[in-house]
Structure 1
């Protein structure tokens, strides 16, 4: 994982330019399949941003997000742009940070109407906590004279579908507001990016500026004037969030190992300061009044990765046979497992990275199965990924 790099994706050129203006020294980065990114740093920081354009729609967003994750192994993926407000709680120009994303087009059509069968993805806890902290600090927005009240950050669900929603009275508009009445905003890409992050094991956050009310006024002059402002506000909050995410990653990476307490002792060195008492511990060695031990919280890496992957296949099939794993999930898991096994046998540049990415996708698929996830953790480490 690149601890100093965050991927930011947008659907529209207007949104892309809003982020691009905040970058210093952007350089073109071309993916082997032709997708173009620009990589620069947030002005005044060491945080690198890989900026890409997905175009409209969840499918396109999912493909480009997956491609960006494999190419950059980022600390996080942020999808940034504009959206329509479903309720009056979010003002024009405000920023909505998704607590979770609804793919609202999932459903079943029956004689008595259309029944909702949504998929949903929650925002990662650590990103949500950091975003809430930044919102409370309230120092992220650009100070633009004459722009009225400063934009606020709202936290709540975002609904993502496949159409431009621009009505309050159409049958679909009423259906959405009925079944997803807690959603603050509506757009067309968040579900695809969230799914790509889920399958790849990459944290994803959705940041949207409110540019319209999805109520029939979307093509008005007022709406067109709000789009640039909403995009700029979303870009301001997203880049600040990216900077803080990178800072958190770097601090965590350099944090002393467990066991280095406030007494200044080195990791793995414990001094008994108890008086007239008995202390019972398990340790590697004891010398005088000092105890030395070694504890590694990370799972140990297996010596033969290919053999371990073959063993993991047996556990997958056993879970399937016992009914603990459904057929669709097992089928997708086997695709990623075979991909990891194939690249693990290669002796070529980048093969270890491809193995790690395949295993991270597999980890996302089986995240709801703790026994399988625990067995997979050391294999991810062995492939060069993070547990």
Structure 2
């Protein structure tokens, strides 16, 4: 993971420019498949941002988000831009941060009508908490001289589909009101980004400035007035959130480093007093009942141990699937990622270990609904990351 970098994605050039104005020293970074990012630092901070443009739609957003996650291994992915408000819950210029995202076009057509089959992704708890804190502090907004009141941050569901919504009486509007009436805003990319984050194990936040009301009053003249202001407000909140996320990551890294130093202090001996138990230790030598801890894990079969642990995880994965915790599609995708991780771990080269770490992170996202699998997988992700 890049502990000082956050990915920010936008769908429109206007939104892209609003974020770019927050960055200093931006340099072009070209992905091997041709996607261009700009990497710079939030002005006045050490927080780096990789900025990318997805274009409209959930599918395009999902592909670029996945590409960005694999390329940069960021602390988090923020999707930033404008959206339409629903039910007059947010005023023009306000910012909505998603607590969860609905892919509202899911459903099944039956003889008695269309039945909703929603997909939902919740925002990671840590990011939600940090966003709420920034909203309470309320010092993130740019100088709004001449723009009226200070924008407010609101938290709630965001609905993401594949069409521009601009009516309160259309069939689509009635569908949303019937099935997703807690949504504060509507747009066209959040579901794709949320899915990419879920599969990759990367935290995602969706941040939208309200530029219209999605009620039939949307027009070019109003867009020219409100879109830049809404995009600028969303960019300002996102930039501040990115800085705070990197700061939190640095604090966590320092705490882990302190724990590591404590664990690395020499110990005179290790004694096993548990009856009929097994103790596994990476040791340099054993003399009587004393175990001397001075071996290099990389030189004592760490690769074999990781592969063996991954083999064991496959058995647990199969059992969890058989118990019905994982559905068939998730189980198949998890097996693919596990296979990639095992193959890369066997190669034991720096680039291979990096691939193994990425695959394990994606696997962690797939099995997030199973605490047992996540708990078993967490030390394996750390182990692979520590050798990359």
Could you say which TM-score interval applies, normalised by the shorter chain?
0.7 to 0.9
* 1:308-333 deviation digits (Å, cap 9, x = unpaired): 22222222223334444332221111
| Deviates most, 357-366 or 250-259 | 250-259
- Matching of residues 185-200 of structure 1 within 5 Å: 185-200=185-200
1:35 aligns with 2:35: yes
Report the 3-state secondary structure (helix = DSSP H, G, I; strand = E; otherwise coil) of the residue aligned with 1:184.
strand
Equivalences for residues 280-291 of structure 1 within 5 A: none
1:339 aligns with 2:320: no
- 1:268-347 equivalences under 5 Å are 303-347=304-348
Deviation at 1:239, TM superposition (A): 0.2
Q: Which residue of 2 aligns with 1:160?
A: 160
3-state secondary structure, aligned to 2:380: helix
| Distance change >3 Å, CA 122–CA 325, structure 1 → 2 | closer
Cα distance in 2 between the residues matched to 1:372 and 1:256: 23
Other-structure match for 1:252: 252
Q: TM-score, normalised by structure 2?
A: 0.86
Question: What secondary structure, in the 3-state scheme, does the structure 1 residue paired with 2:168 have?
Answer: coil
Is there any run of 5+ residues in structure 1 with no aligned partner, and where? 260-265, 269-281, 283-293, 295-300
**CA shift in 2, pair 1:50/1:327, >3 Å:** same
Of 177-186 and 301-310, deviating more is 301-310
1:86, 1:177 within 8 Å by CA — same for their partners in 2?
Answer: no
Answering whether residue 148 of structure 2 is matched by residue 148 of structure 1, we say yes
Task: Say whether the 8 Å CA contact 1:256–1:267 is kept in structure 2.
Answer: no
Deviation at residue 61 of structure 1 after TM alignment? 0.6
The structure-2 alpha-carbon separation of the partners of 1:63 and 1:172, relative to structure 1 and needing over 3 Å to count, comes to same
| Stretches of structure 2 lacking an aligned partner (at least 5 in a row) | 264-273, 275-292, 294-301
> 1:112: Cα distance to partner?
2.2
Q: Does structure 1 retain, via aligned residues, the 8 Å contact 2:78–2:204?
A: yes
Q: Which residue of 1 aligns with 2:7?
A: 7
In structure 2, the partner of 1:175 is 175
What does residue 275 of structure 1 align with?
none
Quote the offset at 1:244 in angstroms: 0.8
1:330-355 Cα offsets, whole Å, 9 max, x none, are 11111101111222223545221111
Aligned to 1:25: 25
Displacement of 1:258 in angstroms is 8.5
Q: Is the 8 A contact 1:134 1:241 kept in 2?
A: yes
Q: Which position in structure 1 is the counterpart of 2:288?
A: none
Indicate the larger mover: 39-48 or 322-331: 322-331
Say if 2:129 is the partner of 1:133.
no
Q: Hey, what's the Cα distance between the residues in 2 that align with 1:183 and 1:322?
A: 34
1:48-77 superposed Cα distances (whole Å, 9 cap, x missing partner): 000000111111111111111111110110
- Whether the 8 Å CA contact 2:94–2:209 is kept in 1: the answer is yes
Equivalenced residue count is 351
Match of 1:298 in 2: none
Q: Alpha carbon RMSD of aligned pairs, Å?
A: 2.2
Of Structure 1 and Structure 2, the greater helix share is in 2
Asked if 1 retains the 8 angstrom alpha-carbon contact of 2:134 and 2:140, the reply is: yes
Contact 2:304 2:346 in 1 (8 A): no
Once the two structures are TM-superposed, the CA of residue 252 in structure 1 deviates from its matched residue by 1.9
SS state at 1:304 partner = helix
